[in-house]
Structure 1
């Protein structure tokens, strides 16, 4: 498997005391480097993405606004509630570029799986605005990039972050080539992800939300993936599988109210690996979203990656 990390991701500063801190990636990277299997995985480098590729998902006007406001020293994007600094735009370009390097790796090398330890995260960003802790939608860009460059016909995105991936859902809501599946706490930020939100137009039926109240844990989330997402994936037959891997659904997270544990994330990973083999030859890219208890985040990522590197 491959692992994508870059020190440049540490230079995005959302402000003192902000939960989406550089310490998240420091904790992950330190833990990953201590793993027995670290010497056997492929390390990937990030490069900044170009504007034309960003435009596969994002409006050029929004891209220009994000660039201008970050470089001018704004502390928050005018499009919403996303904290930024002068380096944030450049870092976000590298985050997307790193994710796309992982996509390239699984389509052009013998690598089948990749985990991308990137920040800022992406699943709240829509085509024309940043939101939450997100500037650009990393996973949506991965899906569109794979479709354009590698002629992928069907992409499946599963999101197990405690927050609903409203940006990802919005981008693909009328698209029948991308199946978006999400478990999340509800009602909760950002207020979307109700059971009845299933897509629109030709995308009707290609969005599947399974909202849960606070205190949901392994039993509920794993059952949704095994009993509902997996059968739907078998019918969809994705050529490529992506995970919005948010570990704020883990117990003791300071923001979320779920009670997943590391063994639960192992089980979810096994299910996603099974999905990746339905029609996609095992091609799977997992992209970091949330997770704010540093020790818990590192432990959950290790469990996730450990399961991926076995396959």
Structure 2
């Protein structure tokens, strides 16, 4: 009889434990779904505020004064920690990779708000947090990388004369001279374009303010095309990636035609991706990025 009672008690305890587990799982799913619904709904309703932010020119890219890199080549955003993000919520682990294919697993978060200054802020975005990315000496004093998942919500104008970015609503337009160069890109999150380099048209070139050279091309592009030319010099140098430093081949041209114009002192490096970088941007005083029409205008 006593043994039977003990078995009954054990059975009840097991049943209670299972019930608690089921309740916990159900509550977790409900909370997760509510949070996900809030994120999706709020992301659709709230975007960004607008205004001007100043930046410093450096070899690491366009660095906004309070320590954020403005990077059109990053389809996501990355921060050294979550303390600058209002209401950050852990979502899941995610793989990230750099230009050369090195990968890491890092945590992804939802962020309610990032304030750049008293006027400009970004709302409702997913980001990753990885102190390791910013441990490289070239990222000293950098708090994070603002990528296209945040930037695509606005149009923006860059002045390389006065070193500022003006964020504006996505339907904003600007006046620019008829001589302005226009590049069309295909996707707001991963803005790639086509460009005629010399006599060859290359497609899938990522427009990347986080890349400090003129251009990057694949090794096969360089081997198949530029070996046919004679007016360039080659060198081996290093390039900082998200996770390490890579040796790369660089090709320097005294003059090179890009689309319909000829440019002096063009530097191309070998990479796993085709990139159009910040040095090309800085050849102009003004840049207007139109996310609505997917066009970038450059002029002096």
> Does TM, normalized by the shorter one, top 0.5?
no
Indicate the structure with greater helix content: 1
Larger Rg: 2
Indicate the structure with greater strand content: 2
